[in-house]
Amino acid sequence: MISAVLCGMLLGISCKNEKTAEPLLKVGMLYGLGSGHTNMTEAFAAAQLDSRISIKYITSANIAFGVLDSLDVLIIPGGGGSMHTFNLGQTDISIIKKWTENGGGILCICAGAYALSHTPDYACFGMNGAQVVDLDHSSRGQGLCALGVTEDGKKLFPELAELDTIHVLFENGPMLAPADSAALAESPATDYTVFATMLSDVHVGAEFQPGISPGKPFLLANNYGKGRVFTSIGHPEGSASFSWMIPRILFWCAQKEDLALPVEYKAPALDREVIMSEEDLQKEGSLYRTFVYGTKEEKLEGIEWMTQHPSWSMKSWAPCLLYDKDFEVRGAAAAWIASTELLTGKKDLEAAYAVEENEIAKAIMQKAVKHLNSLYR
């Protein structure tokens, strides 16, 4: 009898020890109108780089039913700013504000930054201490923008302390300035702190005035009551060598920054300012037909062009090219996914490797898979 009890106790201890540890952070990714597919899935994948973070998709209905009470941080991704506001409506926005004011954390990216701003005559929440300037020219352009990391930024991201300039993807994010003092006086939001500023002058097209973007905040954050809001006008989650910033920011939003893991910074393959011109954007658009109907040589030339230009569309096209009829194209697509650290292409890369019969392409795919698997955990 005693033996049976002891066995039962030991079994219980064993089972308890084998249980999966509770995540250190519980994160919700807003899914619905306003959440762009590429924006949403890349931020989701970047959060998963830290295995201690549990992340799930949540909807406006989930928020109304109280899901925020089980979360540490809410991510409002890129896509459409006013659509985020429309999707949530006043009911859910009020819930989000109260939750944040009581200690919740928010990471808003690109369109999320528009949505959380205090911009007059724009459908927004009024939570991040900033307002959008030059709103009439929101389609400013895209590319790898040069950023300057501030002293506050070097404290949050000490891996970047010795760098004068970094290059991070930007796609039509908002140009921000401090919110009107009257707006802040009526809000729990505080003035923001800047972690990185724009150095690049993005103004694609004759209607865009030069000189607007340099000096504007790229990464910034503020308090909202007892909670925290972090704003990124661009996309570290989709930038080679910078996706690790997302877990770091999520820990900061949850006020658990002391638990964030350090990383070893490695410069990306494309480490220079590349602002897509009107001609570049037209070229990018034309490559869809090339990848669908072109010859092997044309496809390889297109992939090489994409390697030198920060294409947003290629994030969707590259996984498709892993299954092309020509092994050279399949291998080139795998190399592109590895060089850009396209986290959302990992499953397709693993599947393509599993069925690849050509030894050359298979070796490239294996190397690419190993690279993505080696990223920060």
Rg (CA), the chain: 22
37 & 91 share domain: yes
Within-domain flag for 13: no
**Res 197 pLDDT > 60:** yes
- Provide the domain count of the chain: 2
Contact 330, 322 (CB under 8 A): yes
Question: Measuring CA to CA, which residue among 86, 113, 107 is closest to residue 227?
Answer: 107
Q: Tell which residue, 75, 72, 67, 83, has the closest CA to residue 124.
A: 83
SS3 216: coil
- Could you give the CA distance from residue 340 to residue 321 in angstroms, rounded to a whole number? 15
Question: Cβ contacts of residue 167 below 8 Å, gap of 6+?
Answer: 144, 145, 146, 147, 239, 268, 270, 271, 272, 273, 274
| Residue 110 C-alpha from the chain's centroid | 9
Tell me which of 226, 259, 292 is where a domain ends: 259
Domain-located, residue 67:
yes
Q: Is the dihedral of CA 34, 37, 41, 43 positive or negative?
A: negative
Mean pLDDT value of segment 268-296: 96
Length of the chain: 377
User: Would you say residue 19 lies in a domain?
Assistant: no
Answer with the one of 213, 229, 259 that is the final residue of a domain.
Answer: 259
Q: Which three-class secondary structure string do you get for 186-206?
A: CCCECCCEEEEEECCCCCCCC
| 143 and 37 both lie in a single domain | yes
- Let me know whether 168 and 233 are in one domain: yes
Looking at the fold, whether 209 and 287 belong to one and the same domain comes out as no
Residue 9 lies in a domain: no
Among residues 316, 333, 344, 337, the alpha carbon closest in space to that of 42 is found at 344
In a domain, 17, yes or no: no
Whether the predicted pLDDT of 12 surpasses 60: no
Angle in degrees, CA 121, 217, 261, rounded to 5: 125
Do 209 and 301 fall within a single domain? no
Supply 43's token pair: 């931020």
In a domain, 72, yes or no: yes
**Mean pLDDT taken over the chain:** 93
pLDDT surpassing 70 at residue 6? no
Q: Are residues 37 and 128 in the same domain?
A: yes
Q: What is the mean pLDDT of residues 15-26?
A: 66
User: Are 106 and 205 part of one and the same domain?
Assistant: yes
Strand partners, 169: 144, 235
Residues 184 and 284 in one domain: no
69-111 tens-digit pLDDT: 999 999 999 999 999 999 999 999 999 999 999 999 999 999 9
Q: 119 with 153, same domain? A: yes
Residue 64 lies in a domain: yes
Same domain (yes/no): 199, 309: no
Q: Are residues 300 and 222 in the same domain?
A: no
Per-residue pLDDT, 204: 82
Kind of pairing, strands 53-58 and 217-224?
unpaired
Task: Tell me the CATH number at 66.
Answer: 3.40.50.880
Average pLDDT over residues 341-369: 97
Q: Is the pLDDT of residue 4 over 70?
A: no
Statement: residue 327 has pLDDT above 90: yes
Cα(374)–Cα(266) distance, rounded to whole angstroms? 12
Q: Are residues 234 and 289 in the same domain?
A: no
State which residues form the domain around 181: 25-259
- Structure token pair of residue 166: 């970094």
CA distances from 311 to 275, 287, 308, 319 (A): 10, 11, 9, 14
Note whether residue 115 is domain-resident.
Answer: yes
Among candidate residues 228, 259, 290, the one where a domain is terminated: 259
